[in-house]
Structure 1
């Protein structure tokens, strides 16, 4: 027993070392940095807490996150400056996930943690100094520190004092100010400010003194009225107390000033608005035999509490969402939590409405369309356990749930589930990690699964579930493929065929709605010169500018550049310019001319700026306030409008030749999904597919909704060309201000890679392609090149990639050139 007690005392006095992920580090020198934990902070310092640390030779203050705590000698370590958080902001599970993120996506430790937290939780720090009065240890200071102290002692204004010290630190570093603080001549304090504060309301309650002896207070009649109200209700908002008692807020304030009451702040949560449908009960959801079979298979796995991945392949309109609802209800009844991920912000209002009608306030929502404050407060609700169902887009996969039972990824084949900024993660991979930690099920679902997912299902890595019939045996839309070459030969120069015009007219006459997909926003998509045949390019990007009639501007859809219309060719000076191409704005104008009585709703990035524009527009369309909805791909997936009986696909030919091996997959998926928006009510739908290449097999397979036929064609091509899922692809992306510098840097890295591969002799085949200019060689002023490496995503190859990224930073050719690596990212941009 004595040995045990002695051991406990020994452990308590052993110094602590914190392994910290520090902000602002480059990947080439990123690591976990060791710091001593001061005795005064030891009791509160925990893994997952943010801290302020001295970093680098100048000891510049930086925010970091404690990733590990160990015991041992700390004599040579810098100490932590202070704690930002009094309790961890990242759980043990998410800290482990951050290590996985860094390993898989080649980001820094801090970026991995930062991506898991709401942007509103980011903090900035302001350091303030003050001189200590009656300091007696000047004799122990170095001459330089003593000289600085004498200079500071002459300053009487504290604001000026801090300005002088701040200027000194910028010019000379922190050595002398730190010496003054260590010697006790000066105190410093760090004030942390969160990007968005907690929302609070001023509350009032009776004081303990009044409660114990109310007769000792001489109150006015109005004050007595407030006191009686608070005595009955306990506490209330200041404004509410004044309103309920029919007095002004000044009466409440005087009551507090006299000591009879006291004010305090109470946290309030900024709610995500959205009306629920009429209250429903999960017990009332009736599943078809196919739906029930899929549901039961996943439910059995939920009861086993073992990690497993299911792929639910159901045709459009087969009722996948009803299966989700039942499974989530089963999960929460087990006392566990559920997560539903969707690919587009535009789908959120419709899905949120459905789930709130079933589960009420137990549902939290996370997506980038919310305000920073709303995202912060939804995060708090989840972390506190007030919400056990999370619905959101990609970033919601990091929601701080502590007991997950099921994760569902709807429309799982969408590329929006792949992050295109650091950390460049795939949502599916993160979901698998979380399912393994929580011993729960992952359900991937789509009418058009990704080739990779279906391949894994065929090989048995995923369990395949299929729903081949629409709910209620509703037939799939009848699809007509229109050859636009024949339309042009017949003299029809409009963007919609005669057949589509007839069908739109019939729908307007019958009071039915139509959806038209044109995946190009703007009015004219290209302004071209008739003499040199060059389009008018964005000055910052190798991308033609698009004319927008609404604001009479030329706009770049990549960097946001805006300019007035031009009447002279920038390349040759010719005045002969021609407007070419056709966007959603022009389609809206032509439809209005052709169908003057039609009520037209346009949905694209130009009409959905505001946070609630998706919700309002889709609700208005669903309620019958519009006859025709036209839009880009944002209207193509996941939406359910019972009165839509006609879908028109105006032009997707260009998407087939986007320069990416996934272009056929994306085109097939988009056509299949948008065609599936029709005929979801009582009446059968029709779809018109306009194309200049009607014989292309993608068009015919999409028209037939034949995913299996498409998969067989596509996997054969990928097998022959060795593309994913038959391999993994790591894309090394280079960018910089000068074309020649970027190209030379890429070539130098290629030599480095070849040398290292000869040394490594990897166990699996590796093929390196490039460097080549990216499809868009210049974006936002940066020239861009890439090297593609076909390999296997193994620990050996990730180690190789890390070495390349680290050592390339030392190459003289890479000066001024940025480099990142992305496994299985897009190659067609």
Structure 2
């Protein structure tokens, strides 16, 4: 008697189980690749992915039967499974880990916690280790309950303590019976895609933020709730205004029309844009795999080229994906695509609820949309017939995932288009040197946009030697030139952007009597000063303590602050220019969805000076900005990373490009290394010159793109065990012809959150052979070690 067999992959958290298992398909049950089922495994029943089509098989009494098919959408299709298999092979992870990148999390049934306050707020004196801020937050803002992820990201919660402290506090409140932990199983359901819409109500409302929200909605007629979040209005404010009746919220079905009219921007392309559009049109029409490097200076109109390319794909019945480094930083980019393609585009960003994100994902799978715009994970969107993937700012490190699976979204985009005979466009003002070298070698076309679309020249750049400033007696954050330039812009009612790639007030505090520097007890790094909160904070694990008045080691005082961060720079601007409106934008001031847009809107409306980290280097287009100051251009120039100079050059080029978009602009670069090629060539806007110097050095030192590189890391709580493990894992690769093993050595930050981290680097020209060696000789050794985990990063 024959039976039907199907292969499934259990959805288990352990990475060591990575084997598809065969089960009998019950009579009458239908499944296909990507379905989620429940299967018996040992004494329990677990969720599993179907990873193959059902096949006839001989009747085997030992073959266990699938318990049920989970009612819901497919987690992936055959193309998604093929991409996951490629990721598992290319990045040396398990197939289950690779599927974790491909599958939208909301598709998997999961246990969800929700903390719900009971009764009146408890007396804080009862709880020795529960922060009062946390109690106020729970009982004032989240009376209806809140999930742990939302709660722990809230700025008030972050001020109350680090993650470990807050989780312990929540457990204490639950044990005391004043806080309920309610657990439910969340299961995805197929349904009509919906969107939550806000429109004005009849009731009055008081309060500055509430009134601003009502005015914002009224100006648009009606507004998606996610757009209100992106605009900087918090979930708590929206909820309060809706409950008061000043706004009405309704859930509305999304009705998409696939053949709706495309509305491209009305202005005429420049000659350079016209040539780029034509080159892309030819590649799209050829219907074979190709990639193109679009090297355009800041402000050259690369997005305009993307829009024309996508319109051509849609006109021929295809679909497109647009990847951006961080959608929350560039809402205006998303707006341009929505304006051009209307409801045919789905924008995936952090303001969407899980339900809205899942609806968009399923709409893509059903063929209801044609364009997906999003960050790294959007490369896996289940669109059919994708013929174009655009990677904007393709040099950005955010396209590389730094947790397992450690994939590069740019490489995944190439693989997806290779399989689909489509086109990949890599757009950047500062292309990754690996891509630039391949394009120069003729591996794929290089198209340049060397002029700004507005015909404005690139800003003049002045380099200030801070060593000379120090020698002349200037100990301030700003050089004389930069201070005078800021004063001049304020007097002329023009705007200034100041960039420093470090947050906080100071890098560390030091006792001048004994040399003691307070360090994080869980990480091997000094604590950063946050003067506005009177805290020392670890930027790795978020440990925090009060700023000491005297040295804890020797009792001398006061301690001295050294180094500068965004907070100190902003304070210095306010001290020098008391009447100036200063806006600070870093990860401390942008903890909630929408904070980016809120701060940028404030800067646009009333700000004189914007101070920020690398956030200010992306997505800013303000005509009134005529001065950019790089306060400490070489902060990251000398870190232990062969890409340090490339990153510094890219950041300086990008941030200087914020100046002079609509009128003549200037940039001032403060540095202690004025002769470094990254500084010299960035000041000249000379990418080709920098690339020539940097590629010569990389060739001499055998770094990519002239060799392939794999980084193997060992991470665990015991330093001795970590050192032993990494040495053991390196042994099979040493002495092998064609492999050069560097290390072991500690990571630049050797201990993070009480875990020690050591690594080796392996250089080779035979990457496939190296992958095979790691798979055969290193992974089995790693599986046999308890308490130490292996990480593999393919550069």
TM over 0.5: yes
Which of the numbers 578, 583, 586 marks the counterpart of 1:601? 583
Structure ID, larger Rg: 1
Secondary structure of the residue aligned to 2:590 is: coil
The answer for the alignment partner of 2:445 in structure 1 is: 463
- Deviations along 1:89-117, one digit per CA (max 9) or x if unpaired, are 31111111111111112222222222223
Is 1:658 paired with 2:646?
no
The answer for the alignment partner of 1:20 in structure 2 is: 8
For 2:694 and 2:353, locate their aligned partners in 1 and report how far apart those are by CA, in whole Å: 41
Displacement of 1:435: 0.9
Equivalent residues in 2 for 1:230-241, closer than 5 Å: none
For 2:650 and 2:664, locate their aligned partners in 1 and report how far apart those are by CA, in whole Å: 21
**Paired residues, what number?**
663
Which of the numbers 540, 543, 546 marks the counterpart of 2:522? 540
The answer for the alignment partner of 1:331 in structure 2 is: 313
Displacement of 1:455: 1.1
Which of the numbers 168, 190, 194 marks the counterpart of 2:187? 194
Is 1:308 paired with 2:290?
yes
The answer for the alignment partner of 2:74 in structure 1 is: 88
For 1:671 and 1:106, locate their aligned partners in 2 and report how far apart those are by CA, in whole Å: 34
Q: Call closer, same or farther: CA 1:544–1:369 in 2, change over 3 Å.
A: farther
For 2:455 and 2:32, locate their aligned partners in 1 and report how far apart those are by CA, in whole Å: 57
Displacement of 1:787: 1.2
Deviates more, 1:96-105 or 1:107-116: 107-116
Displacement of 1:283: 6.2
The answer for the alignment partner of 1:116 in structure 2 is: 102
Equivalent residues in 2 for 1:333-412, closer than 5 Å: 333-412=315-394
Equivalent residues in 2 for 1:759-778, closer than 5 Å: 765-778=738-751
The answer for the alignment partner of 1:68 in structure 2 is: 52
CA contact 2:328–2:350 (8 Å) conserved in 1: no
Secondary structure of the residue aligned to 1:391 is: strand
Displacement of 1:788: 1.0
The answer for the alignment partner of 1:797 in structure 2 is: 770
Equivalent residues in 2 for 1:462-541, closer than 5 Å: 462-541=444-523
Displacement of 1:723: 0.7
Displacement of 1:568: 5.2
For 1:312 and 1:595, locate their aligned partners in 2 and report how far apart those are by CA, in whole Å: 41
- Deviations along 1:715-752, one digit per CA (max 9) or x if unpaired, are 11111111111111111110111111110111122224
The answer for the alignment partner of 1:628 in structure 2 is: 609
Secondary structure of the residue aligned to 2:668 is: strand
For 2:96 and 2:329, locate their aligned partners in 1 and report how far apart those are by CA, in whole Å: 31
Is 1:36 paired with 2:21?
no
For 1:658 and 1:287, locate their aligned partners in 2 and report how far apart those are by CA, in whole Å: 42
For 1:436 and 1:75, locate their aligned partners in 2 and report how far apart those are by CA, in whole Å: 43
Displacement of 1:531: 3.7
Displacement of 1:620: 3.3
Displacement of 1:412: 0.5
Secondary structure of the residue aligned to 2:51 is: strand
For 1:803 and 1:531, locate their aligned partners in 2 and report how far apart those are by CA, in whole Å: 55
Secondary structure of the residue aligned to 2:650 is: helix
Q: Call closer, same or farther: CA 1:634–1:195 in 2, change over 3 Å.
A: farther
Displacement of 1:704: 0.3
For 1:123 and 1:735, locate their aligned partners in 2 and report how far apart those are by CA, in whole Å: 30
The answer for the alignment partner of 2:622 in structure 1 is: 641
CA contact 1:728–1:790 (8 Å) conserved in 2: yes
Deviates more, 1:437-446 or 1:62-71: 62-71
Is 1:680 paired with 2:661?
yes
- Deviations along 1:672-725, one digit per CA (max 9) or x if unpaired, are 1100111111x1110011112222222110000110011111111111111111
Deviates more, 1:480-489 or 1:508-517: 480-489
The answer for the alignment partner of 1:10 in structure 2 is: none
Displacement of 1:640: 1.5
Displacement of 1:71: 2.8
Q: Call closer, same or farther: CA 1:67–1:573 in 2, change over 3 Å.
A: farther
Secondary structure of the residue aligned to 1:601 is: strand
Displacement of 1:19: 1.9
The answer for the alignment partner of 1:100 in structure 2 is: 86
Q: Call closer, same or farther: CA 1:817–1:356 in 2, change over 3 Å.
A: same
Q: Call closer, same or farther: CA 1:281–1:40 in 2, change over 3 Å.
A: closer
CA contact 2:194–2:253 (8 Å) conserved in 1: no
Superposition TM-score, scaled by structure 2 size: 0.79
The answer for the alignment partner of 1:553 in structure 2 is: 535
The answer for the alignment partner of 2:127 in structure 1 is: none
Equivalent residues in 2 for 1:610-629, closer than 5 Å: 610-622=592-604, 624-629=605-610
The answer for the alignment partner of 1:441 in structure 2 is: 423
Which of the numbers 769, 779, 804 marks the counterpart of 2:752? 779
The answer for the alignment partner of 1:289 in structure 2 is: 271
Displacement of 1:52: 1.4
CA contact 1:23–1:62 (8 Å) conserved in 2: yes
Secondary structure of the residue aligned to 2:626 is: strand
CA contact 1:28–1:807 (8 Å) conserved in 2: no
Deviates more, 1:193-202 or 1:381-390: 193-202
CA contact 1:199–1:268 (8 Å) conserved in 2: no
The answer for the alignment partner of 1:694 in structure 2 is: 674
Displacement of 1:477: 0.2
Q: Call closer, same or farther: CA 1:726–1:702 in 2, change over 3 Å.
A: same
Secondary structure of the residue aligned to 1:471 is: coil
Displacement of 1:84: 1.6
The answer for the alignment partner of 2:793 in structure 1 is: 822
CA RMSD of aligned residues (A): 2.5
Q: Call closer, same or farther: CA 1:397–1:731 in 2, change over 3 Å.
A: same
CA contact 2:710–2:761 (8 Å) conserved in 1: yes
The answer for the alignment partner of 2:722 in structure 1 is: 742
CA contact 2:15–2:97 (8 Å) conserved in 1: no
The answer for the alignment partner of 1:263 in structure 2 is: none
The answer for the alignment partner of 1:733 in structure 2 is: 713
For 2:437 and 2:76, locate their aligned partners in 1 and report how far apart those are by CA, in whole Å: 35
Secondary structure of the residue aligned to 1:655 is: coil
For 1:196 and 1:663, locate their aligned partners in 2 and report how far apart those are by CA, in whole Å: 46
For 2:728 and 2:274, locate their aligned partners in 1 and report how far apart those are by CA, in whole Å: 58
The answer for the alignment partner of 1:129 in structure 2 is: none
Q: Call closer, same or farther: CA 1:27–1:119 in 2, change over 3 Å.
A: closer
Unaligned segments of structure 1, at least 5 residues: 1-12, 127-190, 203-265, 272-278, 825-829
Secondary structure of the residue aligned to 2:283 is: helix
For 2:253 and 2:744, locate their aligned partners in 1 and report how far apart those are by CA, in whole Å: 51
For 1:339 and 1:201, locate their aligned partners in 2 and report how far apart those are by CA, in whole Å: 21
Displacement of 1:83: 1.2
For 1:455 and 1:355, locate their aligned partners in 2 and report how far apart those are by CA, in whole Å: 31
Secondary structure of the residue aligned to 2:447 is: strand
Displacement of 1:475: 0.7
Deviates more, 1:567-576 or 1:89-98: 567-576
CA contact 1:363–1:388 (8 Å) conserved in 2: yes
The answer for the alignment partner of 2:651 in structure 1 is: 670
Secondary structure of the residue aligned to 1:654 is: coil
For 1:465 and 1:698, locate their aligned partners in 2 and report how far apart those are by CA, in whole Å: 23
For 1:269 and 1:767, locate their aligned partners in 2 and report how far apart those are by CA, in whole Å: 58
CA contact 2:494–2:624 (8 Å) conserved in 1: yes
Secondary structure of the residue aligned to 2:685 is: coil
Q: Call closer, same or farther: CA 1:618–1:280 in 2, change over 3 Å.
A: farther
